[in-house]
Structure 1
């Protein structure tokens, strides 16, 4: 691998150098061959043969430079003071096959000076969830951390119960969070200019060509964050804990602990059991992104160079809403196979209302639209469409057949039929092949549903990792119908079943 451990060149107040604390008897969980190839990890025999030892903390290659980062943050809207890597270490930074810098971050590596009341460990269930989610998001073309692999061990870890300790080698384009700047502003303000230059030169070097590089950098962070959150909304992803210390400066999804993928469509859905007020509900994510960036940008008032003023920072933040709306609206129209125009948006929002009013499955309902456009070529999607129509009838306590062309006799079906006719009228004006491509490439067949992850976790806790491997392969091609799938992979929960919130404990 091509090492480029640049973070170690920064002021030592920003981190603490230390090795990982070994796990007891680490064993293979799963290894991500895609990420290994991306990093060039598989070109090194020593890394390949000793990867379990490395993730288990028993072996640190000479080129690694492990350290824990200091940062701060606002948690659930409240200033939390100093935080930092309490159970993870930035083990190394490398250039991947695309010459992009990647962080190798070992999560579950033991106590650090920033552990506070924690034990420095991670448990198997949360490790599997993060491993599969990072893989899923990347294959859904959403910027996100991924992972090289994970190991399980005999180290006992106490959470709500005693669990097996595990470790995950997370790979991300950066582990610098909005909270890094918050820490500097509170505890080492003299470092702000130097650290800003480091962020700019390392991750936004193209901004050096601007007349005002710092402002160009700040605006780019705002834009990337807006697009990332729009991607979340489009796919139905809820991060769950959007504290300022959990948002990356690169606009890449990071630290998704109590995450969830939307099943039955409920915009007010809360997927974090600690979020008692619904601050981080799915529908609130765009507003929280704006709030976090506003907090972050305010600290740059300390800089006096490059035209940084209160007004110029406000102008940087002002691009957030139009960037989000443009990206989200374009994506929403693409999910219908339609061009981005007012008529398409009207149809899109009417469809979302239909899903919400009838608690239909978000992923399956969008994918079912293929059966309207090309019913003869889409047998799987035809089944989804039949289920959609059947549920509309059941929702009105009216028994109907399972054919999508059944005559409507209920309010819900009347809304559906009117929408369907208008949608097909717009589709008829477009190139059918292009519509099909848009529908197939913007509406996945498979997402990581909670029950899927839970089945893999329960098996892994019995020492069986075959389900993790199957889901890894399934989620590697989320837009393609696959024979390896089972019915439960795409089955929506019962309409009256509450989508369970996820614990933050990991």
Structure 2
């Protein structure tokens, strides 16, 4: 691998260097060969032979420079003070085979000075969920951390009960969060200029060409964040805990805790059982992204050339950027051109889904079965299942809507519409029930189901022979969707 460990060259107040605390008898859980090849890891015989030891904290290659980052944050809208890497270490930074910078971050590897009341460990169930979710979002072409692999061990970790300790090697384009700047503003304000220069030079070098690079940088972060959240909304992904310490400066999805993929469509869905007010409900994510950026940006007023009005100008395009990306994506999911008539039909479709608690992913995919049943027999079966759930009144609404929808797709462009729809509507998402089946098997020492789900999610837009009926089965319409705990 081509190492480029630059974070460790920054002021030592920003981090704490330390080795990982080894897990007891680590064993292979799953290994992501695609990521290994991307990183250049696969070209190093020692790394390949000793990956379980590395992820288990028993062996640290000489080129690694493990450190725990300090950062702060607003959690559920309240200032939480100093946080930091409480159970993870930035092990190394590399330039991958796509000429992109990547952080290798080992999660679940013991106590750090930032552990607070935690034990520095992760358990198998949360590790599998994060491993599969990063993989799923990456294959859906949504900016996200991914993972090289994970291990399970004999180390026992107490959560609600005693569980097996595990560790995950997370791979992301950056682990710098909005909370890093919040920490500097509160605890080391003299570092803000140096750290801002580092963020620009490392992640946004094109901003150096602007008259005021820091403003160009801030505008770019705002735009990337807006597009990332639009991608979440389009696929039905709910992060669950959008604190400022969980948002990356690069607009990549980071920190998978109580996340979920929408099944039966309910915009007010709360997937985090600790979110008693619904602050991080699916429908609130765009507004929370704006809120987080709004509390982040004023810290830069300490820098030359940055005024309150200039910061307002940086944030102002957020809503338009989000809406442009979301509306264009919504039209693509329906195979329609991006124009007002298409959007009218699209929002009527979402209302139909909501009013009848229909499955979000299956229903969008089923429209291929409406347009071309002979070419899409699987999707036509989804359509049959979907319409069977409708009441007589809803059946009429469906008939009226589908007629209008079909009329918008010109017959000469039907093939183009189908290709667009197939490319933007996955057959498979990581449903909570799917992840839980993989976790249950893994807790019994059987990782075949993790591998099957991983393979299924590697090609989410194509119907696959290895799939089972359970992989696309939504929950009972009268049962609440499964809430997920932050416990990990």
TM-score normalised to structure 1 length: 0.96
The residue correspondences of 1:12-31 to structure 2 (distance < 5 A) are 12-31=12-31
Q: Which residue number in structure 2 is paired with residue 459 of structure 1?
A: 441
Q: Which stretch shows the higher mean deviation, 429-438 or 37-46? A: 429-438
Question: Is 1:475 aligned to residue 449 of structure 2?
Answer: no
Q: Which residue number in structure 1 is paired with residue 425 of structure 2?
A: 443
Q: Which residue number in structure 2 is paired with residue 495 of structure 1?
A: 477
The residue correspondences of 1:358-377 to structure 2 (distance < 5 A) are 358-377=356-375
Query: Which runs of 5 or more structure 2 residues have no equivalent in the other structure?
Result: none
Q: Which residue number in structure 2 is paired with residue 171 of structure 1?
A: 171
Q: Which residue number in structure 2 is paired with residue 356 of structure 1?
A: 354
SS, match of residue 374 in structure 2:
helix
The Cα shift of 1:429 comes to 5.4
Question: Is 1:432 aligned to residue 414 of structure 2?
Answer: yes
Q: 2: distance between equivalents of 1:430 and 1:189? A: 61
Q: 1: distance between equivalents of 2:2 and 2:213? A: 28
Q: Among residues 314, 324, 330, which one is paired with 1:326 in the alignment?
A: 324
The Cα shift of 1:428 comes to 2.6
The residue correspondences of 1:182-221 to structure 2 (distance < 5 A) are 182-221=182-221
Q: Which stretch shows the higher mean deviation, 350-359 or 295-304? A: 295-304
Q: Which residue number in structure 1 is paired with residue 250 of structure 2?
A: 250
Q: 1: distance between equivalents of 2:213 and 2:419? A: 39
The one-character-per-residue Cα deviations of 1:155-204 (angstroms, maximum 9, x if unpaired) are 00000010000000000000000000000000000000000000000000
Query: Which runs of 5 or more structure 1 residues have no equivalent in the other structure?
Result: 397-409
Q: 2: distance between equivalents of 1:386 and 1:211? A: 58
The residue correspondences of 1:45-60 to structure 2 (distance < 5 A) are 45-60=45-60
Q: 2: distance between equivalents of 1:270 and 1:180? A: 27
Q: 1: distance between equivalents of 2:412 and 2:93? A: 47
Q: Which residue number in structure 2 is paired with residue 289 of structure 1?
A: 289
Q: Which residue number in structure 1 is paired with residue 235 of structure 2?
A: 235
Q: 1: distance between equivalents of 2:334 and 2:397? A: 17
SS, match of residue 464 in structure 1:
coil
RMSD (CA atoms): 0.6
SS, match of residue 104 in structure 2:
strand
SS, match of residue 329 in structure 1:
helix
Q: 2: distance between equivalents of 1:335 and 1:426? A: 14
SS, match of residue 375 in structure 1:
coil
TM-score normalised to structure 2 length: 1.00
Q: Which residue number in structure 2 is paired with residue 90 of structure 1?
A: 90
Q: 2: distance between equivalents of 1:422 and 1:386? A: 19
The Cα shift of 1:134 comes to 0.2
Q: 2: distance between equivalents of 1:147 and 1:262? A: 23
- Runs ≥4 in structure 1, deviation > 2 angstroms? none
Q: Which stretch shows the higher mean deviation, 74-83 or 204-213? A: 204-213
The Cα shift of 1:433 comes to 1.2
Question: Is 1:391 aligned to residue 373 of structure 2?
Answer: no
The one-character-per-residue Cα deviations of 1:256-306 (angstroms, maximum 9, x if unpaired) are 2100000000000000011010000000000000000001101001112xx
